[in-house]
Amino acid sequence: MTLQDSTAEPLPGAHYNPVPPARRHPVVFARQGKDFLKLSVRGAALQFVTFGFYRFWLTTDVRRHLWSHTSVDGAPLEYLGRGKELLIGFLFALAILTPIYLLYFLAGLEAERLKAFASIPLFIFFYLFGQFAIYRARRYRLTRTIWRGVRFGMEGSGWSYSWRASLWGLGVLFTLGALYPWRAAALERFKMRHTHYGDLKGEFIGDGWTFFKKGWWMWAICLVGFLALMGMPFIGLVLQELKKQGVAVDFGRFGDYKALLFIAVPCLIATPFLWTMFRALEWRWWASNIRFGEIDIASDLPKSSILILYLKFYVILSLVSSVVSVLMIAIGAAVLEVMGISMSAKASEFQAFAANHNFIFVGGMMAMYLFAGLVVGIVQRFFLQHELWRIIASSLTIGNVEAADHVIVQGDVVNALGEGLADSLDVAGF
């Protein structure tokens, strides 16, 4: 057969079978809302009786639940972290940070001016340390995550990530947020460059400009509102100075600098909604640009689903907070009645009671605040962890999953110090 014969058009009636496109596999989340809610309530109760120390085990249980109910190509994720590891990491973090807090406290006793000066380098140190902790915590979670029997992994220097994040943070600060998309892209490239699934290297192919083009208008509206609000006092001072010099400034029917309120208020009201939509846009952009070798991920996450979720969260949180507040007042009133203090008593009687029963009064207040915090935590955990995870996971599809069929296991587990540092600095991710 000649070359011409081999490339000729198929004969009439012949069957032509083109190569089918690679099938994409949806990420499936088996929703078990009631089970998760029971887990959260039980964890909150144990936190209450252990004065919060059970949170390390609760965090582990939550991750195991979400990981195990999320599957790709029929294979669920596994989370092998342990609460004991998080507790030990937290204690090590305290051993590192406590001397620093102590030195700062002693500096404050030595001289108030020295304390004020020391606050600047202390803030810089904790910001750098916080970024280091975020990187190491992510590394810990990845090395405890398994799919198809193969562990994820992450190397790289936490300090190298920290100074990059800090420099980019300064750029974001000086540009009033304009550089945030480029910061997000640069830091994600660094993290994914050091991330792997077995021997499949991670990669992030997103760029800041693409992200910025999709969300610039949200940033612009928030910025206009912020500048208008911050500009009112400044303009007021300028107008006062002009009036002192006899210069008349007419703003028409709006009246001097208060005209800026007509700009600031609508923008500020829209800011929470725009922030929610922006986060949805960021998650979609982030997920759609992750690669592991030939494996690619895509997301069709709609902004409306995240917006509706947050609205539900705020409504339910308001209702629950109101109910808890009424319940706490009722319990407090009942306890006072039992101890002979009426709710109609004078303020002096309450003060005398608090002074004579200081331990009971303080203990009761702490218990009520802890209870309220734990109830709010249940609501937050259900909506902003379980439901948010469900929405984001269900929006994902994975292409070229077959590339993981012959992956080679590599990488070791790491300790939980980074997670403990992130927890102690209140920068822990999920």
Percent of the chain at pLDDT > 90 equals 44
Same domain, 277 and 318: no
CA–CA dist 198, 358 (Å, integer): 59
CB within 8 Å of 373: residues ≥ 6 apart: none
Same domain, 116 and 151: yes
Which tokens hold the place of 375? 């109830």
Number of domain units in the chain:
3
pLDDT exceeds 70 at position 425: no
Has residue 66 been placed in a domain?
Answer: yes
Same domain, 126 and 196: yes
**Within 13 Å, how many C-alpha atoms sit on residue 108's CB side?**
9
Residue 311 has a pLDDT of 94
pLDDT exceeds 80 at position 101: no
Same domain, 88 and 183: yes
Residues 299, 305, 306: CA angle, nearest 5 degrees: 85
Same domain, 190 and 212: no
CA–CA dist 20, 12 (Å, integer): 22
Has residue 416 been placed in a domain?
Answer: no
DSSP secondary structure of 242-293: HHHTT-----GGG-GGGGGHHHHHHHHHHHHHHHHHHHHHHHHHHHTTEEET
Same domain, 201 and 89: yes
Has residue 401 been placed in a domain?
Answer: no
Beta bridge partners of 295: 292
Same domain, 88 and 201: yes
Has residue 320 been placed in a domain?
Answer: yes
Where residue 255 falls (left for φ over 0; alpha for ψ -120 to 50; beta otherwise) is left
Residue with tokens 């070359």: 3
Has residue 406 been placed in a domain?
Answer: no
CA–CA dist 372, 370 (Å, integer): 5
Tell me what the pLDDT averaged over the chain comes to: 81
Helix (H, G, I), strand (E, B) or coil at 301: coil
DSSP secondary structure of 391-419: HHHHTEEEE-GGGGTTPPP------SHHH
Same domain, 190 and 165: yes
CB within 8 Å of 37: residues ≥ 6 apart: 378, 382
Same domain, 283 and 306: no
pLDDT tier at 4 (50, 70, 90 boundaries)?
Answer: very low
Residue 95 has a pLDDT of 82
Domain of 341, in residue numbers: 26-74+301-394
Same domain, 145 and 86: yes
Has residue 1 been placed in a domain?
Answer: no
CA–CA dist 213, 211 (Å, integer): 6
CB 23 within 8 A of CB 72: no
Parallel, antiparallel, or unpaired: how do β-strands 295-299 and 396-399 relate? antiparallel
- pLDDT tens, residue by residue, 203-234: 999 999 999 999 999 999 988 888 877 776 66
- Please say which residue of 288, 314, 331 terminates a domain: 288
* Lowest-pLDDT choice from 34-43, 47-56, 73-82: 47-56
CA 68 to chain centre: 21
Same domain, 84 and 169: yes
Same domain, 260 and 370: no
- pLDDT tens, residue by residue, 135-165: 988 998 998 999 999 999 999 998 999 999 9
pLDDT exceeds 50 at position 14: no
Has residue 177 been placed in a domain?
Answer: yes
Has residue 229 been placed in a domain?
Answer: yes
Which tokens hold the place of 134? 């975020």
pLDDT tier at 257 (50, 70, 90 boundaries)?
Answer: low
